[in-house]
Amino acid sequence: MKTSPAKKLAKLHNRFEPLAPERVAEILRILERSYPSVRCALHHESAWQLLVATILSAQCTDVRVNLVTPALFKKYPTPASLAKLEPEALEPLVRTTGFFRNKAKNIVGAARKIMQQFDGAVPEQMDDLLSLPGVARKTANVVLGSWFGRGEGIVVDTHVHRISRRLELTRSDNPKHIELDLMRIIPQVKWIDFSHQIIHHGRALCVARGPKCAECPLESRCHAADKTWSTVEQHKGAKGKKG
Tell me the C-alpha distance between 197 and 34, whole Å: 8
DSSP 219: G
Expressed in angstroms, the distance from the first to the final Cα of the chain is 36
- Of the candidates 131, 134, 130, 128, the one whose C-alpha atom is nearest the C-alpha of residue 104 is 134
Report residue 99 CA to chain centroid gap: 20
Nearest-10 crossing angle of helices 137-146, 47-56? 150
Tell me the C-alpha distance between 178 and 227, whole Å: 21
Sign of the four-CA dihedral 60, 66, 68, 74: positive
Tell me the C-alpha distance between 185 and 204, whole Å: 25
Backbone Cα Rg of the chain: 21
Q: Which residues are tagged catalytic? A: 138, 157
CB-count burial class (<10 Å; 0-12, 13-18, 19+) for 140: buried
